[in-house]
Homo-oligomer: A and B are copies of this chain.
């Protein structure tokens, strides 16, 4: 009786474990529309913080404001954005239809290089923002913005 119970139980356990594995996989693979929504969100947060820095360095400079904004951009730039451009997200809708060009998915090496440049210049901006030297901040902010533009030129469709 005990042996028979085990026999019945064993496949059931296997099924449960398989279901759990599939569940874990599902958790690790978000839906394409979520990936697109998250990348659109990440770039919007970058845009918000870019605007805050521009307003502050062109107007009444506020060190704390610029530093918080620069930290946010740096953390997003270094968060692993490439993971949001996974296969299956070449087309589709997050908050709106993706504005990523097909080229963004065809040249992962170049995409990775531009993403790394974004991360490096954003990290450098967060570092000079902590120092509070306005001229140095403006110069580094210019370098950061050029990384945005170079990536948009190659990989983002005009809206």
Contact = CB atoms under 8 A, between A and B. Distances in A.
Interface string A69-98: 101101110111000100000000001000
Nearest to A64: B80
Interface stretch (A2-10, A44-52, A109-117, A141-149): A44-52
A55 interface: yes
- Chain A residues touching B, majority SS: helix
19 contacts: A24-B59, A27-B51, A27-B55, A34-B48, A38-B44, A38-B45, A40-B41, A41-B41, A41-B45, A41-B48, A49-B79, A68-B78, A68-B80, A69-B79, A71-B75, A71-B79, A72-B75, A72-B76, A75-B76
Interface of A: 24, 27-28, 30, 34, 37-38, 40-42, 44-45, 47-49, 51, 54-55, 58-59, 65, 68-69, 71-72, 74-76, 78-80, 84, 95
